[in-house]
Structure 1
Amino acid sequence: RDLYLPLRYFLLFAVFIQGTALLFFAVAPHSFPYTASRYVDNGLKTCASLLFLLPWGHALVYYIFDFSWPKKIFLTLLTLVFIIIAVPMQLTLHVYLMVSCSLLLMPLLSFVFGPTMLVFGCIALYGWAMSWERVER
């Protein structure tokens, strides 16, 4: 029963976000402030900010450990390449879903499947890098 508990909480969060968005826009349908092009523009700006902050984050939380410099630089470059490849594919999928379904998916895509998924990917790469063999002194 507890095996899928994290997935259940994630789905509950996603249902809550989508439900509140649908409820809000059912009450105030003319107050929808975004377009798909503005959504993509904000996504690209968020990605650019993440690309700028990522090396500093690695310097604070990964470079302090006893790994060789090539491994440290490799993790940073690998994470940057992950972001550079993932963001266009993610935004393309988001635009496709908004065009084929509805713009009302935008809050769900933005809050649950947007930068959150990119951060989860960066954390996964960081966790993998923490398992690498350290330099012995």
Structure 2
Amino acid sequence: MKTRQGVVSDDAAKDKLAAPNAAPGTPDKTVKKNSHIKKHRDAVVNPRFTGFGGQLIQTHRALRRLAFPHSRWIDVLLVPALIFSCTLLAWPLIAELWSGIIRFWANGLGNGMLLRAEHTSFPGIQSVPYAHVEAALPDPLQWWAGMLVSITLLLATTLLPMRMLPITYALRVVGLVQLASQLYFYFWAAEFPYQSASSISALTQVSMVLILLTPWIYGLLYNIFDFGIPRKILLSLLAVLYLILLTPFQYTFAAWLMLRYSLLWHPLIYLLGSSLIQFGALVGFYSWAMSWQRRE
């Protein structure tokens, strides 16, 4: 009489002998299942697809294929067109708002600043108000004050801790630009080709164009993703409203700065204190909006 262990051993031996003699084409479910598990295990532990801790490395979103249904063209084209049209139709109100802000600060900051309007050839916009000032070339006292500010700013950045390194680099750029302006006005002040009034007028008109282009910029860079139409409209409206409020304050202050402290600060305002600030705001809004939860 065979024991239970002997019966199991005999059955296992019979299975081994019967496996090679199985009829061709007969599927062996056990073998296929084990093979599938082995392949899955190999894929998981494959060092090409795992990180240092053994976790699976996901495909970066920059390398993924973006799902872009045909209905997404509504977000890309119609949403910017709607906001662009509304902004263009509301331009008389925007110009009136800018005029009120500039007039208020011109009256409060004293003589020398006037409210002017520059005619444009942009369709639908007749004129753009701006703060008109006639800034003079720097006198010796203003030049030495600017040099002291530049040197102090550059030296102060060496005292900032490492955790403030981005701010350190930004302040150094400001200091170097102003230092270059100091050297230029020391040797070639009489040859400076720009005027404060024309520069403020041009920068204000550039801001007007940027306000109108903002919905289209976001339409190409943000509306291609599936965040939903309400959020896409909200992002463009927030950015447009922000630029509408920022522009008169920004360039009225720039005009006052040149009027009070001469054209010595014109290069710094033109290079770092104009459109760069506005584009930085647009990038900030875009970064914030990209953190919202997508629908896909």
Q: TM-score, normalised by structure 1?
A: 0.92
Q: From 95, 99, 120, give the equivalent of 2:259.
A: 99
Q: From 173, 183, 189, give the equivalent of 1:23.
A: 183
Alignment length, in residue pairs?
136
Query: In the alignment, is residue 62 of structure 1 matched against residue 259 of structure 2?
Result: no
Question: What is the match of residue 281 of structure 2?
Answer: 121
Question: What is the match of residue 47 of structure 1?
Answer: 207
Distance (whole Å) between structure 2 residues aligned to residue 44 and residue 112 of structure 1: 15
Q: Deviations over 1:10-42 (max 9, x none)?
A: 111111111111111211111112222112111
SS in structure 1 of the partner of residue 177 of structure 2? helix
Structure 2 stretches of 5 or more lacking a match?
Answer: 1-160
CA RMSD of aligned residues (A): 1.2
Query: In the alignment, is residue 86 of structure 1 matched against residue 246 of structure 2?
Result: yes
Q: From 36, 42, 45, give the equivalent of 2:196.
A: 36
Distance (whole Å) between structure 2 residues aligned to residue 119 and residue 58 of structure 1: 12
Shift of 1:133: 2.2
Question: What is the match of residue 233 of structure 2?
Answer: 73
Q: Deviations over 1:23-77 (max 9, x none)?
A: 1121111111222211211111211221232222111110011111011011111
What is the aligned-residue identity percentage?
33
Q: From 156, 173, 194, give the equivalent of 1:13.
A: 173
Distance (whole Å) between structure 1 residues aligned to residue 184 and residue 255 of structure 2: 22
SS in structure 2 of the partner of residue 37 of structure 1? helix
Question: What is the match of residue 2 of structure 1?
Answer: 162
Q: Deviations over 1:65-101 (max 9, x none)?
A: 1111011011111111111110110001111111111
| Greater relative contact order (CA < 8 Å, ≥ 6 in sequence) | 1
Deviates more, 1:78-87 or 1:50-59: 50-59
**Aligned-partner residue type, residue 101 of structure 1:** Y
Structure 1 stretches of 5 or more lacking a match?
Answer: none
SS in structure 2 of the partner of residue 135 of structure 1? coil
The structure with the largest strand share of the pair is: 2
Larger Rg: 2
Question: What is the match of residue 157 of structure 2?
Answer: none
Question: What is the match of residue 135 of structure 1?
Answer: 295
Distance (whole Å) between structure 2 residues aligned to residue 46 and residue 19 of structure 1: 26
SS in structure 2 of the partner of residue 28 of structure 1? helix
The structure with the largest helix share of the pair is: 1
**Aligned-partner residue type, residue 34 of structure 1:** Y
